A and B are shown apart, each in its own frame.
Chain A
Amino acid sequence: MAKSVAGIIFSSLNQNTLSRLTADRAVAAIPFACRYRLVDFCLSNLVNANISNIFLVANYNYRSLAEHIGSGKDWDLARRSGGINLISPYQSARDASAKLYKSHLEALRSMGDYINEMKEEYVVLMDADTVLNIDLRAVIASHEKTKADVTFVTKTPDKSYSSKNPRMMLSSVAGKITDMVLSSVYTERNPELSLGIFVMRTTMLRKIIEQANAYGLNSLTELFFDSYKRQNYRSYCYSGHVATVSSFLDYYKSSIQLTKNAEARDQLLGQRDASIFTRVHNSAPTIYRKGAKVSDSMIADDCVIEGTVINSVLSRGVIVRRGAVVKDSILFQGTYVGENASLNCVVTDKAVHISEGVTLSGNENMPFYIQKGRRV
């Protein structure tokens, strides 16, 4: 029989640092790479590892996330047994103080009995703001082999790495985690970035929650810091492409990077046996009209392109009229770019209308953002 594994996805951590993109949506529902939302990567990684009992812990603004997930059938998660469970924020008569979660631990507490009732032997915890295409079966196999208490999936970032939020950075000796620190930059001492993917036995997860409650801790991070010296915590260092979306600038850079880096594109989206699944919209293919000039761009379905598009990421239903130039920009679903308009380093949210002849320009370290539904 196959190993039984459950998945838990935290849909809305780091909501605050992505404020512009999360005004109307959960972190997990942020569009990424034209046709996906961040949650699609978590869900597909789990599904591709035959994990089909998945809990998606919602926070505020989860309407668009719920709509995206639907019954879960687009990920083959509409199941009689297991499938996807959207855990909405919950208040009961017993505990009216329940509030929106800010850490993994609070989110896990908000799941209440689900964790106690889990039948699966193992559980994988994932943050929605990390984009990668990883074979979780290999992570679980390594977890078993090393008899780890918890396996942390990590990535050694470039030395230039920096993040708006401090994240868990660690060092390991032959895979055994020996030091941990919260840092927003790369350091020689703790070069491995924790990607927010944790594998453990379900019994271990229950124990961790109990301990944290007993010590009055507020986050898993605190607990890991307290315990790593005593416990067998292991690092699984992933070598493939990873995008961590912890700020608007991160988001912008990692999106545009996909238009420039074929290897990253292939690792993330081009794996034959590990497709990334998303909600199916039944849109028509994209039409390129006479005079269209497109280069180094990722484009979703149902766009109409008459103008010039360079190093850009276009979601479904974007229209670029004649003479318009779109460069280094990310256009969300239904953006309209009028004739002779010019966009450089711009992010347009859903259904933005750029009128004829308008010129907008940001720069690569400060892209210009236009909020949902705006007319410019």
Chain B
Amino acid sequence: MYLKKECIAMLLAGGQGSRLYDLTKKTAKPAVSFGGKYRIIDFPLSNCINSGIDTVGVLTQYQPLALNEYIGNGEPWDLDRTRGGLSVLPPYQGQNGSDWYKGTANAIYQNIEFINQYNPSNVLILSGDHIYRMDYSLMLRQHIKTDAACTVATITVPIEEASRFGICNTRSDGSIYEFEEKPKEPKNNQASMGIYIFKTKTLIDYLRIDEADETSANDFGKNVIPNLLHNGEKLFAYQFDGYWRDVGTIASLWESNMDLIAENPPMNLSDKSFRIYSRNTARPPQFIGSDATVENSMISEGCRIYGKVENSILSGGVVVEAGAEVYDSVIMEDVKIMSGARVYTSIVDADATISGGCTVGKAGADKNDITVIAKGTVVNTNVPEKA
């Protein structure tokens, strides 16, 4: 029998991330590299442990191999616990057959047994595709204080972008009276972050109702939250005012990486009071060679730089040979950029090689025109061919 837990987390990590194209062809979105030494999933997992949540179910589905290997037993995030800790929850076969996770709500529905094991008072629902640092315990405190059936974390977005999000319309006390998924004419700019805390009983009741409804898309934003409101349940918004980015597109992934090397970065990764943990790869220190130039860049362990790197983020083990140049780019693990190669405004996925004399990307391109090189590619021609 487990000790009763105040709150456990369920992290939805099964998304395909199809708008990241080549980067998620063989990897689930949460396992995509970010900020040199991190993966996207490091952020919600670190948030959990930094918020005192020691039991996390990670729901996987799409291309889970790299993700499973990365999260392992949860040790890097201090989530290898005797009671609780990290559990990977793939879809499984039961007596009544088996099913893929049909939607976010269905994924949790299929794991009600897991939740019941811990008998938590509350369940925190997270998604694995956002970059942010958030103390969930503050949200939980508000959730308990307001006695809400469900609390939805919200963030202020520019009003012109509000129609891309789920928008919470609230009363002056913060209670939600209306939730509009991607409204054409948004009434305000408080967007749902896809982070919810439910009373466990409310969650399970509504997941069962949702499952019974054959017309439902089994999605929290589209179905479950509106249904709670419809039935007059008490919903509150929790306003988060820190840095938060959905990195679901190439443009946003690149832009969010670039935020890290801004003069005053909106998120400081070296803040020791709220560390972001990641799996360590035992690489040697970085080495910067004789004629190298490295400016306005973030460089990780194991990099060897003999060429020029400007305005870029380099993951572990990247080699930039003498005479190679890298500008405004995100370079993932163990990429080799050979002498004479040029890389501009690109995302180069792990293990790729850019051969000498090749030019990748377009100098000074904007965020909507990022060149992406898939994992392991050996580039022997210019990409795109006519720059």
List the interface of chain A (C-beta within 8 A of B).
33-35, 73-74, 259, 265, 269-270, 275-278, 280, 282-302, 309, 317
Contacts and interface: CB of A to CB of B under 8 A. Distances in A.
B287 A265 contact: yes
A285 B284 contact: no
B285 A295 contact: no
Contacts of B286: 286, 298-300
Interface string B255-274: 00000010000000110000
Contacts of B116: none
Contact of B284 (A265, A284, A286): A265
Contacts of B289: 295-296
A292 B287 contact: no
A57 B269 CA distance: 37
A276 B284 contact: yes
Interface of B: 35-37, 75-76, 261, 269-270, 275-278, 280, 282-301, 309, 313-314
Identify whether the interface residues of A are mostly helix, strand, loop, or mixed.
loop
Nearest to A279: B280
A283 B268 CA distance: 11
Nearest to B75: A73
Given A284-B269, A285-B298, A291-B295, A298 B287 contact: yes
B42 to A, nearest CB: 9
The 10 closest A-B pairs by CB, nearest first: A269-B284, A284-B269, A285-B36, A34-B285, A275-B282, A284-B270, A285-B300, A280-B280, A294-B288, A288-B294
A309 B296 CA distance: 15
Nearest to B314: A285
A301 B300 contact: yes
Contact of A299 (B278, B288, B296): B288
A302 B37 CA distance: 11
B9 to A, nearest CB: 20
Nearest to A291: B295
A291 B294 CA distance: 9
Contacts of B282: 275-278
A299 B76 CA distance: 23
A302 B296 CA distance: 14
Contacts of A294: 288, 292, 294
25 contacts: A259-B287, A275-B282, A276-B282, A278-B282, A282-B277, A284-B276, A284-B298, A285-B36, A285-B301, A285-B313, A286-B298, A287-B261, A288-B297, A290-B296, A293-B293, A294-B294, A295-B289, A295-B290, A295-B292, A296-B289, A299-B285, A300-B285, A301-B37, A301-B301, A309-B288
Contacts of B309: 288
Nearest to A270: B284
A139 to B, nearest CB: 22
A312 to B, nearest CB: 10
B301 A296 contact: no
A282 B275 contact: yes
Contacts of B269: 284-285
B288 A295 contact: yes
A348 to B, nearest CB: 17
A269 B286 CA distance: 11
Contacts of A284: 35-37, 269-270, 276, 298
A277, A286, A301: residue with the most chain B Cβ atoms closer than 10 Å: A286
Given A73-B75, A280-B280, A295-B291, A287 B298 contact: yes
A292 B76 CA distance: 32
B287 A297 contact: yes
